[in-house]
Amino acid sequence: MKKLLIFLLFTSLTYSQTITFSGCVNLFDNQTYVFNKISTDVYGRNVYQTTPIDGAQECGGLGTCEFQISWNNTSNRWEFLADTGNGDFVNPYLIYHNTSASIPNPPNLTLGVWTENTTITEGNCGGNLTSGNGTLTGAVQSSTLGTDELPKNKLLLISNPIKNSLDILSPLSQDAELYDSQGKLVKKFNLKKGQNNFDVSSLNTGIYLLKTSTETLKLIKN
pLDDT tens sequence across 55-73: 889 888 888 999 999 999 8
Residue 185 reports pLDDT greater than 80? yes
All structural domains of the chain, each given as residue ranges with its CATH number in brackets, are: 2-138 (no CATH), 152-221 (2.60.40.10)
What confidence score (pLDDT) does residue 193 get?
85
What confidence score (pLDDT) does residue 41 get?
86
What is the maximum alpha-carbon separation in the chain? 62
Q: What is the pTM of this model?
A: 0.70
Average confidence (pLDDT) over 15-41: 91
DSSP conformation class of 147: G
Would you place residue 156 in the very low, low, confident or very high pLDDT band (cuts 50, 70, 90)?
Answer: confident
Would you place residue 202 in the very low, low, confident or very high pLDDT band (cuts 50, 70, 90)?
Answer: very high
Q: How many residues does the chain have?
A: 222
Q: Give the pairing type, strands 216-221 and 206-211.
A: antiparallel
CA angle 148, 134, 138 (to 5 degrees): 20
**Residues 154, 216 contacting (CB under 8 angstroms):** no
Residue 12 reports pLDDT greater than 70? no
What confidence score (pLDDT) does residue 152 get?
62
In this predicted model, what pLDDT tens digit does every residue of 74-91 receive, in sequence order? 898 999 999 998 888 999
Q: Give the pairing type, strands 46-50 and 33-40.
A: antiparallel
What average pLDDT does the chain have? 88
Q: Give the pairing type, strands 67-72 and 174-179.
A: unpaired
Residue 136: name the closest of 111, 158, 119, 118 by CA: 111
Would you place residue 3 in the very low, low, confident or very high pLDDT band (cuts 50, 70, 90)?
Answer: very low
Q: What's the rounded Cα separation, in Å, for the pair 24 and 10? A: 31
Residue 15 reports pLDDT greater than 90? no
